[in-house]
A and B are shown apart, each in its own frame.
Chain A
């Protein structure tokens, strides 16, 4: 049986986290969700086997340094920035994030992004 695609979700809003979790599990992904960037970084130090991460760009603790740290800890993991404001994504994309989605992202937005990133066929 093929391994399921695994996703790490970093989102401080419990509402948006719940929405994204539902979308991702409905797409049959395995999902681990955390609230803050430091939790994701701690997790990746022991388990970096995630296919992609969706990370909330709107928090002050999410910046270019965090993106670079994520890349160091999980080089193969694609980084998708989630934001209400496209402007917030620019700096994170420049720091190495692979794509962005606009909140509240719809299932088809996420699927299209994953296809563009080569995570799903």
Chain B
């Protein structure tokens, strides 16, 4: 009688263990699918940034520089870019607000901004910087103002898109988290 009870007890525990293992398997499978989907979304977003001309091959160079010692290098550089570009755009705004327009000063600021855009591969912004500088050369203040408004829009759009992209990457986590531990 005792043996029968003990056997039943063992069988019960085995059944519980089986369900627990199945739960772990399905949770891990679900997590893996979430990871794969998030990575896929990030890859698609990245592709759009290039296809739509927001980024150029310089961004690939940044990605190539990222390694295990600097796993967040690209995001750090992009963050630096947006901080730097906001400062430069504030300077340009102030200069455009003044009654006496200093086209040389505007051109210097825009040259710096264009340099920053080139450094991270911000292609549309870089193009608009060139347009602005052409207007500076022609001392066309209306052209400068129109171009600057467009530049600010491009900046805002790029910032939103890149922030979303990096958020997805952070959600997905580092690539090695997705691999099954070796037996």
Does B81 interact with chain A (Cβ within 8 Å)? yes
Q: Mark A89-121, 1 if CB is under 8 A from B, else 0.
A: 000000000000001101100000000000000
Does A22 interact with chain B (Cβ within 8 Å)? yes
CA of A106 to CA of B58, assembled, Å: 9
Using CB atoms, name the residue of chain A closest to B115.
Answer: A84
CA of A84 to CA of B108, assembled, Å: 13
CA of A15 to CA of B116, assembled, Å: 7
Contacts of A106 in B (CB 8 A): 61
The B93-127 residues at the A interface (CB cut-off 8 A) are 111-112, 114-116, 118-120
CA of A13 to CA of B111, assembled, Å: 12
- Determine whether the beta carbon of A16 is less than 8 Å from that of B115: yes
CA of A107 to CA of B62, assembled, Å: 11
Contacts of B58 in A (CB 8 A): 104
Does B176 interact with chain A (Cβ within 8 Å)? no
Q: In angstroms, how far is the closest chain B Cβ from the Cβ of A13?
A: 7
**Which of B77, B111, B112, B114 is close to A19, meaning CB atoms less than 8 Å apart?**
B77
A16 and B119 in contact, given A22-B73, A84-B111, A104-B61 (Cβ under 8 angstroms): yes
- Determine whether the beta carbon of B61 is less than 8 Å from that of A84: no
CA of A19 to CA of B64, assembled, Å: 11
Does A26 interact with chain B (Cβ within 8 Å)? yes
Q: In angstroms, how far is the closest chain B Cβ from the Cβ of A102?
A: 10
Q: In angstroms, how far is the closest chain A Cβ from the Cβ of B88?
A: 10
Using CB atoms, name the residue of chain A closest to B77.
Answer: A18
- Determine whether the beta carbon of A103 is less than 8 Å from that of B76: no
Does B4 interact with chain A (Cβ within 8 Å)? no
- Determine whether the beta carbon of B115 is less than 8 Å from that of A18: no
Q: In angstroms, how far is the closest chain B Cβ from the Cβ of A81?
A: 15
Does B67 interact with chain A (Cβ within 8 Å)? yes
Does B84 interact with chain A (Cβ within 8 Å)? yes
Q: Mark B49-91, 1 if CB is under 8 A from A, else 0.
A: 0000000001001101101001001001100110010000000
- Determine whether the beta carbon of B73 is less than 8 Å from that of A15: no
Q: Which residues of A contact B (CB under 8 A)?
A: 13-16, 18-19, 22-23, 26, 58, 84, 103-104, 106-107
18 example contacts (A-B, Cβ-Cβ < 8 A) are as follows: A13-B84, A13-B115, A15-B84, A15-B120, A16-B116, A18-B77, A19-B62, A19-B65, A19-B119, A22-B70, A23-B65, A26-B65, A26-B67, A58-B111, A58-B112, A103-B115, A104-B61, A104-B119
Given contact pairs A84-B115, A84-B118, a sample of 10 additional A-B residue pairs in the complex whose CB atoms are under 8 Å apart: A13-B115, A14-B80, A15-B120, A18-B80, A19-B119, A22-B65, A22-B73, A103-B119, A104-B58, A106-B61
